[in-house]
Amino acid sequence: MFLSWLPENISTYGGEIDSLFWLIYYITLAWFIVTIGAMLGFVLLFRRREGRRAAYITGEKFSQVAWILIPTALVLVLDLWLDFRAGDAWAKARIHVPPSELQVQVTGKQFNWEILYPGPDGQFGTADDLQMDNELHVAVNKVVGITVKSKDVIHSLFLPNLRLQQNAVPGREFPAWFQATKTGVFEIPCAELCGFGHSGMIGHLTVHTAEEYDKWVKEQWPSVMGEALPHKALSRK
């Protein structure tokens, strides 16, 4: 597979994004082969020969202009096709957002991610909120809503395995969401150059099973038992 270097996709909408990437890759590869082949063909066909004078092309005949018009038309058609394909992927990732089963706030600052969870009351800005640096914990197959913010400069929240990237801009809030389909630990780097410590600004996403997530929740809020689990929509039903 030509694109085997892509990180493993564990997102419900990652397949559409990957298929679009593959399509662009193969179209670009085809154009490259055609272009290089045409250049080599012209070099051989129109190479200097004894007794042969170069022709002066004025571009007045359609057969001469067609060398420009036909490739241009093909590029425009392919571009429009890709735009429509990209629109479907964009709609699934950004417009048709399902109801979130866990809501967290992720704030970028030089040089780490502050991740805020609502407590048992499910509300931000109350005493039972939990803030962790560079640790995002979720349950597998659950819809997670994220509010992305920044405290200082522009950052970019990047979860490669989820095909999710969202800029964090000071003074603004941006929504994002994902639904992880596989358990494991995955990196959360910053994808925007944000200062001398940029390369070390890496968090980790831990995707738990439902049982493991319930255990983690109880460890963070020891006084919360059974039915009163925070983020109750994420607790096992």
Q: What is the pLDDT of residues 55-76, one digit of tens each?
A: 777 767 777 778 788 888 988 9
- pLDDT of 227: 46
In tens, the pLDDT along 89-115 reads 888 888 888 899 999 999 999 999 999
Strands 143-150 and 102-109: parallel
Q: Which of 53-57, 130-134, 138-142 has the lowest mean pLDDT?
A: 53-57
Q: Which of 114, 94, 118 is nearest to 104 (CA)?
A: 118
Q: Does domain 14-95 correspond to CATH entry 1.10.287? A: yes
pTM here?
0.79
pLDDT tier for residue 165 given thresholds of 50, 70 and 90:
very high
CB 207 within 8 A of CB 182: yes
In tens, the pLDDT along 16-57 reads 888 888 888 888 999 899 999 999 998 888 887 887 777 777
Q: Does domain 102-234 correspond to CATH entry 3.30.110.30? A: no
- pLDDT of 228: 47
- pLDDT of 171: 95
In tens, the pLDDT along 169-194 reads 999 999 999 999 999 999 999 999 99
- Could you state, in order of their start, the residue ranges of all structural domains in the chain? 14-95, 102-234
Give the mean pLDDT of the chain: 87
Cα 178–chain centre separation: 10
Instruction: Say which residue the tokens 């929240």 belong to.
Output: 157
